[in-house]
Amino acid sequence: MTTDRGTTHVGEQPEAAGEQTGIDEIDVLWISEGMSCDGDTVSITAASQPSIEDVVLGIIPGLPKVNLHNKVLSPSLGGEDYLAPFRAAARGDLGRPFILVIEGSIPNQNIIEGDGFWTSFGNDLETGQPLTVNWWIDQLTPRAWAVVAAGTCATYGGIHAMAGNPTGSMGLVDYLGGEYRSQAGLPVVNVPGCPVQPDNFMETLTWLLFHAAGSAPPPPLDHMLRPQWLFGRTVHEGCDRAAYYEQADFALDYNSPKCQVRVGCWGPVVNCNVPKRGWMAGIGGCPNVGGICIGCTMPGFPDAFMPFMDEPTGGSLSSVLIKPYGAFIRRMRGITNAAVNKEPRWRHNEEALTSGYDPRWRA
Ligand code: SF4
Ligand code: SF4
Ligand code: SF4
């Protein structure tokens, strides 16, 4: 279905109607051994809506029991006991449905086939050779109840996939193909951001868990498979500095509180809710606090947004076009501001009441 924002409600597509719901226990198998800096895992430890602890400890009513397997949060700091559920899932005998979370971009192993490994996540028990992330994805994605790509590297390729890279890195959908559907009939769910905004990820995971329990429809995704309700607006639409833009009042250096489009902000064309939601717990939000938006959530990141500190392509034109309108608006606002910065004339300590009050009860 096409909505007013030109997006697709995956949940209303027949092929995405999840067969397997009513699940009461589920594993989350989280692999960050792609081309990754683990920044998304670190980011998600700051989530509060809900927190990862609330989900894992079963504090949220109606969610299935969740068994989380992430090496950073593993009490055994990795090792065979940590790898055991991954190996079981790859063999098809985990015994429970699982959500696969991929963090980091996927290298093109074909480029160096036979000459080494771009990634590794545990070793092959027979040969002792590293098992690549590509191998794990090949084994796990056909069996996964749902697959989530966390962060811009996993969703679209990100930093490691920029022009000139030697690894041929790509996003998960580039690797699996757009036709991929999980056991629940869902495409890969993309939650971009570098790193991912922690509550964006946890809210999406929680929606999926409610769907697994059978109490929610599949999450609505847009045409780039992002949660529609999180990525349907631009940075500019949520920026604290938007009024400066409207008045064509532009910062010329990074010390100014004004609109930063002239010093490199891409906010007008970037889908991201961080200015509204903050980086974590409502704190920060790039342009609100003086950091230009460099489009880190976007499929074209980073190449389409470089060089970062220059005025964006199209930015000069739009900032020139808005100048006469902005100057007029600024002047009108100045006049109105002066008018509303005065108290009304009837507020005085004189004998007569001049407020316009009409004492109707008096004869
Ligand atoms: Fe690190 Fe950013 Fe890639 Fe996440 S998206 S793995 S934070 S570089
Ligand atoms: Fe838009 Fe960026 Fe200016 Fe904010 S700082 S109003 S996001 S151009
Ligand atoms: Fe990334 Fe821009 Fe969002 Fe900041 S505001 S998180 S730079 S997309």
Claim to verify: residue 126 and residue 207 sit in the same structural domain: yes
Ligand 3 centre from 294 Cα, in Å? Answer: 6
DSSP letters spanning 212-252:
HHTSSPPPPB-TTS-BHHHHSSBTGGG-TTHHHHHTT-B-S
What's the pLDDT tens digit per position in 216-238?
Answer: 999 999 999 999 999 999 999 99
Note the pLDDT of residue 359.
Answer: 79
Note the pLDDT of residue 362.
Answer: 67
Band (316; pLDDT cuts 50, 70, 90): low
Note the pLDDT of residue 201.
Answer: 98
Band (19; pLDDT cuts 50, 70, 90): low
- Supply the CATH number for residue 268's domain: 4.10.480.10
CA distance 323 to 17: 50
Claim to verify: residue 154 and residue 222 sit in the same structural domain: yes
Note the pLDDT of residue 10.
Answer: 42
- Supply the CATH number for residue 177's domain: 3.40.50.700
Ligand 3 centre from 247 Cα, in Å? Answer: 23
CA distance 313 to 317: 8
Claim to verify: residue 108 and residue 215 sit in the same structural domain: yes
Q: For 45-64, what is the mean pLDDT?
A: 96
Give the closest residue to 292 by CA, choosing from 312, 314, 278.
312
Note the pLDDT of residue 13.
Answer: 40
The response to whether residue 302 sits with its C-beta less than 6 Å from ligand 3 reads no
Give the closest residue to 109 by CA, choosing from 128, 127, 134.
134
The sheet with strand 146-150 has its strands ordered as: 65-69, 25-31, 98-103, 146-150, 189-191
Q: For 311-320, what is the mean pLDDT?
A: 69
Q: For 160-179, what is the mean pLDDT?
A: 96
What is the residue type of 309?
Answer: M
Band (331; pLDDT cuts 50, 70, 90): confident
Residue 130 pLDDT > 60: yes
Claim to verify: residue 92 and residue 145 sit in the same structural domain: yes
Find residue 100's DSSP bridge partners.
29, 147
Residue 85 pLDDT > 90: yes
Least confident of 80-89, 97-106, 111-120, 212-221: 111-120
CA distance 34 to 37: 9
Band (66; pLDDT cuts 50, 70, 90): very high
Ligand 2 centre from 211 Cα, in Å? Answer: 36
**255-294 as b/e: b if 16+ CB within 10 A:** ebebbbbbbbbbbbbbbbbbbebbbbeeeebbbbeebbbb
Band (195; pLDDT cuts 50, 70, 90): very high
For the chain, how many structural domains are there in total? 2
Q: Ligand nearest 267 Cα, by number? A: 2
Tokens matching residue 134: 């590509």
Ligand 3 centre from 338 Cα, in Å? Answer: 36
Look at residue 39 and tell me if it is in a domain. yes
Q: Of 212, 230, 248, at which residue does a domain stop?
A: 230
Q: Ligand nearest 43 Cα, by number? A: 1
Pocket, ligand 1, Cβ cutoff 6 A:
36-37, 39-40, 103-104, 151-153, 158-159, 194-195
Residue 3 pLDDT > 50: no
Note the pLDDT of residue 314.
Answer: 64
Q: For 54-66, what is the mean pLDDT?
A: 96
Note the pLDDT of residue 317.
Answer: 67
Residue 81 pLDDT > 70: yes
Look at residue 214 and tell me if it is in a domain. yes
The response to whether residue 230 sits with its C-beta less than 6 Å from ligand 3 reads no
Residue 313 pLDDT > 60: yes
Tokens matching residue 135: 């191998």
Look at residue 94 and tell me if it is in a domain. yes
The response to whether residue 287 sits with its C-beta less than 6 Å from ligand 2 reads yes
Look at residue 136 and tell me if it is in a domain. yes
Ligand 3 centre from 183 Cα, in Å? Answer: 32
The response to whether residue 131 sits with its C-beta less than 6 Å from ligand 2 reads no
Q: For 325-352, what is the mean pLDDT?
A: 79
Look at residue 361 and tell me if it is in a domain. no
Band (74; pLDDT cuts 50, 70, 90): confident
Given ligand 3 and candidates 155, 159, 235, 298, which is best to mutate, with the most ligand atoms within 8 Å of its CB?
A: 235
Helix then strand count (H, E) for the chain reads 11, 5
Band (144; pLDDT cuts 50, 70, 90): very high
Band (143; pLDDT cuts 50, 70, 90): very high
Residue 20 pLDDT > 80: no
Domain with 87, as residue range(s), is 25-230
Note the pLDDT of residue 8.
Answer: 39
Which atom number of ligand 2 is nearest to the Cα of residue 250?
A: 3
Q: Which residue has the higher pLDDT, 78 or 126?
A: 126
Note the pLDDT of residue 349.
Answer: 82
Look at residue 12 and tell me if it is in a domain. no
